[in-house]
């Protein structure tokens, strides 16, 4: 895909080696993994499908008070992010079951594919944008199901991408499900709005 050709080797490794496509490792000689890494990754790590490999530890949440989390793909195999610092939350800190892990990995793969279609800005862009913006799209319906599964770990929100008109012109957005005004989430370093009834979060 053309998008991959524009990425640095470091970024490619960080974003694509979180999945289980072994052929990509063989195709790209700069892969940071050896055979022992791969055996561990596929055989002993229960969260291998959610692994992303950040360039630095600064990309992983280190919040000590276990703040709420959000489901947000961001071109990542691990779609779980901290609501406060916006960084990845390591899956082992959540104690996920194998069923929840699989549901999370499946949603992340679909969401990431749709994000790539959006960024490609060609014939599939309109489809991808609709999937991201429409709260009743298959992507967002499945995302809401995964959020429900994650609620037993920490309070969890689905990160919603409203249309550009809403982001620009509506200072206080309403929930796309219940149509009630969303409330400001004040613990993040950028503006975040949440609905605590339907567990939706967004920004403007």
70-122 pLDDT per residue, tens: 999 888 888 999 999 999 998 889 999 989 989 999 999 999 999 999 998 89
The reported pLDDT for the residue numbered 121 is 84
The most confident of 3-17, 33-47, 119-133, by mean pLDDT: 119-133
Question: Is this model's pTM higher than 0.85 or not?
Answer: no
Q: Does residue 25 have a pLDDT over 50?
A: no
β-bridge partners, 82: 69
Asked if 137 and 129 count as a contact pair (C-beta separation under 8 A), the reply is: no
Q: For residue 103, report the phi and psi dihedrals to the nearest 5 degrees.
A: -65, -40
Provide the pairing of β-strand 69-71 with 156-159. parallel
Specify whether the CB–CB gap between 83 and 201 falls below 8 A. Answer: yes
Q: Are 87 and 81 in contact (CB under 8 A)?
A: yes
Task: Please give the DSSP secondary-structure letter assigned to residue 46.
Answer: T
- Give a three-class secondary structure readout of 72-118: CCCCCCCCEEECCCCCECCHHHCCCCHHHHHHHHHHHHHHHHHHHHH
Checking if the pLDDT of 139 tops 90, the result is: yes
The DSSP letter of residue 57 is G
Phi, psi of 112 (to 5 degrees): -65, -40
Sheet of 183-184, strand order: 80-82, 69-71, 156-159, 200-202, 193-195, 183-184
Q: How far apart are CA 12 and CA 99, in angstroms?
A: 28
Q: Which two tokens stand for residue 118?
A: 């959006």
pLDDT of residue 26: 34
Check whether 168 has a pLDDT greater than 90. no
Q: Judge whether residue 170 has pLDDT over 90.
A: no
- DSSP 8-class letter at 63: -
Distance CA 188, CA 194 (A): 12
> Average per-residue pLDDT in the chain?
79
């Amino acid at each position: 895909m053309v998008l991959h050709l524009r990425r640095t080797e470091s970024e490619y490794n960080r974003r694509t080696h979180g999945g289980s496509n072994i052929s990509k490792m063989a195709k790209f000689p700069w892969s940071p993994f050896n055979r022992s890494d791969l055996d561990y990754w596929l055989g002993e790590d229960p969260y291998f499908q959610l692994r992303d490999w950040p360039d630095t530890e600064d990309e992983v949440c280190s919040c000590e008070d276990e703040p709420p989390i959000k489901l947000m793909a961001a071109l990542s195999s691990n779609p779980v992010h901290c609501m406060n610092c916006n960084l990845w939350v390591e899956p082992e800190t959540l104690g996920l079951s194998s069923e929840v892990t699989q549901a999370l990995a499946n949603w992340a793969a679909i969401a990431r594919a749709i994000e790539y279609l959006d960024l490609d800005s060609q014939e599939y862009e309109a489809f991808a944008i609709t999937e991201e913006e429409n709260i009743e799209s298959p992507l967002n319906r499945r995302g809401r199901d995964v959020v429900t599964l994650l609620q037993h770990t920490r309070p969890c929100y689905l990160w919603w991408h409203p249309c550009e008109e809403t982001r620009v012109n509506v200072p206080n957005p309403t929930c796309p499900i219940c149509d009630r005004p969303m409330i400001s989430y004040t613990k993040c370093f950028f503006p975040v709005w949440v609905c605590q009834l339907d567990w939706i979060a967004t920004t403007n």
